[in-house]
């Protein structure tokens, strides 16, 4: 599954970091970093992150 984040609407609330900490995290400067392609084991968490994003900025493909 491919993971995209629309950084033009992301407000860095970090709800995805809470929902799927193995996929999304903050770097030392507070920017969002994420795993761009994930395996089946992380699908449920990643879908939960996309669902929980207050700005609905996460797009999943596949």
Partner 1 sequence: MTETAAPLADAPYLDVADPAFSIRSQAVKDARAQSWYARTPYGIAVLRYDEVQKLLRHPKLRQGSHLWPQHNGVTTGKFATWWCNMLLCQEGETHGRLRRMANPAFSPKLIADLQPKFQALANRLIDQFAAKGECDFIADFTEPYATGVICDLLGLPFEKWRELADIAADMGLALGVTFKQDLPKIEAAIARLFAYAEELVADRRAHPSADFVGMLVKANTENKDQLSDQELLDMIVLAIFGGIDTTRNQIGLAMDMFVQNPDQWALLAERPDLAKAAVEEVMRTRPTVTWVTRAATETFTFNGLEIAEGTTLHLYGQTAATDPAVMPDAERFDITAERKPHFGFGGGAHHCLGHFIARGDMTEALKLLASRLKNPRFAAPVEWLPDSGNTGAIRMPLAFDPA
Residues of this chain that bind partner 1 (CB under 8 A): 11-15, 18-19, 21, 26, 30, 48, 51-52, 54-56
- Least Å distance, CB 3 to partner 1, is 18
**Separation CA 52–CA 23 (nearest Å):** 14
- Least Å distance, CB 54 to partner 1, is 5
- Residue bearing tokens 């996460």: 58
Here the tokens at position 8 are 């033009």
Report the residue number, 21 or 36, with the smaller CB distance to partner 1.
Answer: 21
């Amino acid at each position: 599954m491919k993971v995209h984040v629309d950084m033009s609407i992301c407000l860095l609330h970090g709800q995805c970091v809470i929902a799927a900490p193995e996929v999304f995290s903050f770097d030392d400067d507070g920017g969002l970093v994420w795993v761009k392609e994930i395996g089946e084991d992380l699908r449920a968490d990643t879908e939960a992150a996309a669902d929980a994003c207050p700005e609905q900025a996460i797009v999943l493909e596949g």
